[in-house]
């Protein structure tokens, strides 16, 4: 999950090779309706765009490009997506800000 997020914040480049087109990365993380891209939830953190892939069972990929940060969570104990964002915002981002 972290590698996928890393590929996205690097505009589709992995190991100096374009794996996914930059155009697709930009298109899929652009708001299409109700803060939702192509399979990404879109948001803002400190007026900077972020995007999240939220899956079943507590899985999440959180991409924060302006921090060059990808956070992956795989947990069956944090089912509510708001709990995962609270963990990221209140603890992880609080430490690195």
| pTM of the predicted structure, to 2 decimals | 0.83
What would the pLDDT profile of 55-72 be if each residue is shown by its tens digit? 777 788 999 999 999 999
List domains and CATH numbers for the chain.
Answer: 2-96 (3.40.710.10)
Contact, 77 vs 58, CB < 8 A?
A: yes
Calpha distance 89→41 (Å, rounded): 16
67 phi and psi angles, rounded to 5 deg: -100, 0
Calpha distance 93→88 (Å, rounded): 6
What would the pLDDT profile of 12-41 be if each residue is shown by its tens digit? 999 999 999 999 999 999 888 777 888 898
């Amino acid at each position: 999950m972290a590698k996928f997020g890393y590929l996205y914040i690097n505009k589709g480049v992995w190991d100096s090779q374009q794996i996914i087109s930059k155009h697709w990365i930009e298109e899929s993380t652009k708001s299409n309706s109700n803060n939702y891209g192509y399979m990404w939830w879109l948001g803002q953190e400190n007026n900077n765009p972020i995007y999240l892939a939220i899956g079943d069972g507590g899985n999440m990929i959180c991409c924060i490009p302006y921090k060059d940060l990808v956070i992956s969570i795989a947990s069956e104990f944090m089912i509510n997506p708001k709990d995962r964002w609270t963990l990221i915002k209140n603890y992880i981002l609080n430490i690195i800000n």
